[in-house]
A and B are shown apart, each in its own frame.
Chain A
Amino acid sequence: MRTGFALALTACLSLAALTGCGGSDASGTTTLTVFAAASLTEAFTEIGDRFEAEHDGVTVEFNFAASSDLAAQITEGAPADVFASADQGNMDKVVDAGAAADPQTFALNQLVIAVPEGNPDGVTGLADLARLDFAACAPEVPCGAAAQTAAEGTDLTPVTYEADVKSTLQKLTLGEVDAALVYRTDALAAQDEVDAVEFPESAAAVNAYPITALADAPEPDLAAAFTEYVLGDDARTVLETAGFQRP
């Protein structure tokens, strides 16, 4: 497990720079460490603030990264309390490794067709992509897997399979493609520059976001409380504002 140690150490060091590695510190505040998918950055930062406001002496620290990276860090022993993944697959890895049990879905995310503001090409559905240059995520990452499912049965081929949803959207905002298959949350975050066109096929490829308290959480009680909070109504409002849907 030498590699595991190294990974854990890396994760710990990167957090230590911000928080000090561990739970309680001398001044009596308790730190909760949440590993969350990058697509949750805006929503979870807001939720963290609200959670802190309701819990005196608690600081929530986030480690936002690709779900696959987070899953690897957790299985290699990084000290985290909560894991919120952008897909079921990476959550399964953590559960299979025995690092967590009982994940619960707290949000759904669906693909939309992002087009330049004003929709100059008049895109109304998936079929329109056949005549356009469009970008999608690579099948190896969750948004790409979703796109593949949604486009099943068609012979649509993007001009590029991007490594993540942000760079997929970036190809559109830079004007290199006419459309991009991205999550509704991402399209919403960039609403100054892009419009989102909903399409029915995306219902077949809804992305579920599971959350769980981790088995080796340094702050198990707080971890459970945070998980509960994310599943609650207060957090849902925040998530919906960001473009997520109720499970």
Chain B
Amino acid sequence: MPAKRTRQRRRVPAALLAPAVVGLAFLILPLAGLLARAPWTELPARLTEPAMLDALRLSLATATTATALSLLFGVPIAWLLARGDFPGRSVLRALVTVPLVLPPVVGGVALLLVFGRSGIVGSWLHERFDVTIPFSTTAVVLAMTFVSMPFLIVSVEGALRGADLRFEEAAATLGAGRWTVFTHVTLPMIAPGVLAGAVLCWARALGEFGATITFAGNFPGRTQTMPLAVYLALQSDLEAAIVLSLILLAVSVVVLASLRERWTAVA
């Protein structure tokens, strides 16, 4: 909006600026450390390595699928938590955020106990349909969804709580039923919150390591995502690990920035 742009630039109070600068330095310096240590001459060779490309492609595909799944299931969950009126809602909210506090490796073990070959659901799938989830790309997506969906839920629930219900009432008086109100009014109005949640979710999924390596194992081309490739490279070759990390970073920054660009262009 033009009014916003012409607003005078205000001076930032020192009490905010000082901790902000310290905090930024803390966040950015490790990245600078990686950049300083990176063997730039190796970069072109690494970029064309088929194993690296496989891992990158797998990472992008699985993180995106996990984000789509999180949207599909997370938005309704967020709606329930924000608008639902049922006993135990606060307990449910706490449970939903469990994957945020659970060490991812433990999350991976928990997933194995449910979807593993001898898990509650997994054994049934195995016997009934001869489907085995661990060590498959599906497992990677499940692990990512498990750890990243809470980010989406928390973000969307916040947006829903902040949304002005009166717009939904206005839509109802214009003849819109509940579902139409949700799709045509609520969802578009909380779109920024949904997008922020999806971005967080995608970023978390992309960086996912612990639950993935535990639940999905590590198999090149099938379950070896970039973070797994980085971790294994770290075992033998620090420089290679740094290069892989930088590629992952660069790709995610480009994707997120272009997404933001497109979104702000629309809005």
Contacts and interface: CB of A to CB of B under 8 A. Distances in A.
A and B touch in the complex (CB under 8 A): yes
Contacts of B224: 161
A160 B219 contact: yes
A159 interface: yes
Given A174-B112, A175-B117, A141 B218 contact: no
Chain B interface SS verdict (over half): helix
Interface residues of A, number: 22
A60 interface: no
Contacts of A161: 217-220, 224, 232
B235 interface: yes
Contacts of A175: 116-118
A200 to B, nearest CB: 27
A138 interface: yes
Chain B residues touching A, range: 20 to 34
B19 to A, nearest CB: 23
A195 interface: no
B217 A162 contact: yes
Contacts of B236: 68, 89, 140-141
B217 A171 contact: yes
B135 A159 contact: yes
**Interface-central residue, A72, A158, A163, A176, by most chain B CB under 10 Å:** A176
Nearest to B109: A174
Contacts of A138: 218, 232, 235
Interface in B129-188: 134-135
Contacts of B36: 3
Contacts of B116: 174-176
A138 B237 CA distance: 14
A162 B235 CA distance: 12
Interface in A66-125: 66, 68, 72, 89
A163 B223 contact: no
Interface string B221-261: 00110001001111110100000000000000000000000
B77 interface: no
A167 B235 contact: no
**Interface-central residue, B116, B118, B217, by most chain A CB under 10 Å:** B217
Contact of A3 (B37, B213, B235): B37
Nearest to B235: A140
24 contacts: A3-B33, A68-B234, A68-B235, A72-B238, A138-B232, A138-B235, A140-B233, A140-B236, A141-B235, A159-B135, A159-B217, A160-B217, A161-B220, A163-B213, A163-B228, A167-B213, A167-B214, A171-B217, A174-B109, A174-B112, A174-B118, A175-B116, A175-B117, A176-B116
Closest 4 CB pairs of A and B: A160-B217, A175-B118, A159-B135, A140-B232
